[in-house]
Amino acid sequence: MDQFKKQEALIPYFANSYGCAVFSSVAKGGIFFVGGAYGAGEIYKLKSDGSERTLAGKCDLVQAIGGFVLGGEVFSEIIFFETEADYNHFMSGNFEFSANAKAVALTANVETHATTLGNTGLQGGITADQTSVAGIDRGRSKLEYTKGMKVFTLTMGGLMYEATIGGQKFNIKEQMEQQPAKVEQTDQPSPVAVQ
């Protein structure tokens, strides 16, 4: 989570999203027409100012890759949920991104540079300083989400010639329930005052 909190472009998402799912290390690889990805993550509810978070669950990310793919990489991924309804949709069970789903890729060394793609399509090698990448344009009055979600990735190493999150499946492994405080009850009835 800390690596994403250091990204200046994500500060508005931490402050305005209902929650997020964070995968600190996703391994992805493939050769020719066979490939896949796997990572374990945590799901958080966020406070409105983005300063605090509450662990709400744990989940796995699994992706089977079809088509031409060559190489491997390790990256981090964060998914922001715009509203409580979007968060609940993700938490309701097995969730999967559609085949054309895209992410905004951030570079590890520069705060706001996006290097590959946004929701508007492939922008290979063009940085955020050179073009408006959907979701991190500071000139916009409202944050952009796609179907209530916004995905960012941060490449940690490796080289991969395939840059889509389409087909990623998320399996909720554990949900932490916030239980209300229990009131202790005694077996003896309380005394009744007689007048």
Q: Which two tokens stand for residue 45?
A: 């509810």
pLDDT > 70? residue 186:
no
How far is C-alpha 96 from the geometric centre of its chain's CA atoms?
A: 13
Q: Region 161-178: what's the mean pLDDT?
A: 76
Alpha-carbon torsion angle 78, 84, 85, 91, nearest 10: 50
pLDDT > 60? residue 93:
yes
Half-sphere exposure of 122 (CA within 13 A, CB side): 6
- Alpha-carbon distance of 79 to 109, in angstroms, equals 20
Q: Region 4-30: what's the mean pLDDT?
A: 90
- Alpha-carbon distance of 46 to 17, in angstroms, equals 7
pLDDT > 50? residue 1:
yes
| CB neighbour class for 76 (10 Å; exposed up to 12, middle 13-18, buried from 19) | buried
Q: Residues of 160-181 as b/e, b for ≥16 C-beta within 10 angstroms? A: bebbbbebbebebeeeeeeeee
The pLDDT value given to residue 140: 57
- Give me the chain's average pLDDT, please: 73
Q: How confident is the model at residue 110 (pLDDT cuts 50, 70, 90)?
A: very low
The pLDDT value given to residue 14: 93
Q: Which amino acid would we find at residue 38?
A: Y
Q: Which one has a higher pLDDT value, 109 or 111?
A: 109
Q: How confident is the model at residue 102 (pLDDT cuts 50, 70, 90)?
A: confident
Say which range, 8-12, 32-36, 51-55, 80-84, has the weakest mean pLDDT.
Answer: 32-36
Q: Which two tokens stand for residue 29?
A: 């690889």
Closest CA to 104 of 140, 80, 84, 86: 80
Coil vs helix vs strand at 11: helix
Q: Give the sign of the dihedral formed by CA 85, CA 155, CA 55, CA 9.
A: negative
The pLDDT value given to residue 170: 92
The pLDDT value given to residue 56: 94
Say which range, 46-50, 55-59, 150-154, has the weakest mean pLDDT.
Answer: 46-50
pLDDT > 60? residue 95:
yes
